[in-house]
Amino acid sequence: MSLLLIAKNRDMTPLSEALLKEDANLDIDIWPKVKNKDRVTFAVCWEHPEKVLDGYSNLKAVTSFGAGVDHLLKDEALSKSVKLARVMIPSLKSQMTEYVLSAIQNYRFNTSRYVDQKREGYWSKHDPVSKEDCVVGILGIGEIGSAVAEWLLVNGYKVIGWSRSNKNIEGVRCFDGNRLDEFLSHTNILVCLLPLTKETSGILELEHFKKLKQPSYLINVARGGHLIEEDLIYALDTGALEGACLDVFEEEPLPGNHLFWNRPKIMITPHVASITDPKEAAIQIAENYKRSLSGMDLLNEVNRERGY
């Protein structure tokens, strides 16, 4: 039996080396070099090519090499009998908490404006946004969202959260599925940490931006498919949003001719808010590989109906 590693734009050699340190007896293939498709029972995928999993007749389980699994759920080549999992490790949470806090502080203290002024040789002071005007609303208060909320509380921010089902987090006012509008009306800084599902696709749209408490700002660190790009441009032009920090996009890398590049109110980072550490992930992946061979439930197994 063998384990297959697949990624279009990422070197999977470090993960292979880390897995072999966990278990030197593992038989590992790195796509596209696959010795024997019939031996593959488990795959690790990150933004894998369409239909690349066709022909693996003995595939029992597939795990994402990150917290997101939308690329697996939309793959029609995957049989419904194949179990799905995602990687959820402490460093993913800690990186995300630090990124979101940094993005909030950059907004509050006008960092991007000062960077632009330095480039132009222009001296001008801008008032910072008060913490009192910074109720942070976390859209998707799941495992990572809860960690972000707790870190923001430690740093003195008011935090509220919205999720499909009701959550109970100390210090955080939580709203459930049918109270989205109420949640938005109390939010100044909207942080999207939702899984990408049919229900959440396009949720970052103009009518929702208009319902935010002013002044308002958007941080999207979930998936590009959550955002309707034209609506963001309109919201910025009409003042419904003061600005946005985007780490994820519908098309990645973001094309050089994209409108976002010329918008000073949009901060862009290249999908770096939370990057999976191969050494840390290898422990969970090796365990799930063994569990799949034994027919056991996987760690962080995905519910296909919920989409996460």
Q: Which of 285, 277, 283, 279 is nearest to 95 (CA)?
A: 277
Indicate if 271 belongs to the active site: yes
Whether the Cβ atoms of residue 260 and residue 253 lie closer than 8 Å to each other: no
Active-site residue, selected from the candidate residues 223, 258, 291, 306: 223
User: Both tokens of residue 125?
Assistant: 């002071």
Q: What does the alpha-carbon distance between residue 244 and residue 220 come to, in Å, rounded to a whole number?
A: 8
Angle (nearest 5°) at CA 159 between 154 and 161: 130
Which entry of 86, 164, 208, 271 is annotated as an active-site residue? Answer: 271
| CA count, 13 A, side-chain hemisphere, 141 | 29
CB within 8 Å of 164: residues ≥ 6 apart: 176, 177, 199, 306
- Contacts by 102-109, CB closer than 8 A, 24 or more apart: 103/219, 103/245, 103/267, 104/134, 104/136, 104/152, 104/157, 104/189, 104/219, 106/245, 106/267, 107/189, 107/217, 107/242, 107/243, 107/245, 108/134
Can you say whether residue 286 is alpha, beta or left, with left for phi > 0 and alpha for psi between -120 and 50 degrees? alpha
* Residues written for the chain: 308
Residues labelled catalytic: 223, 271
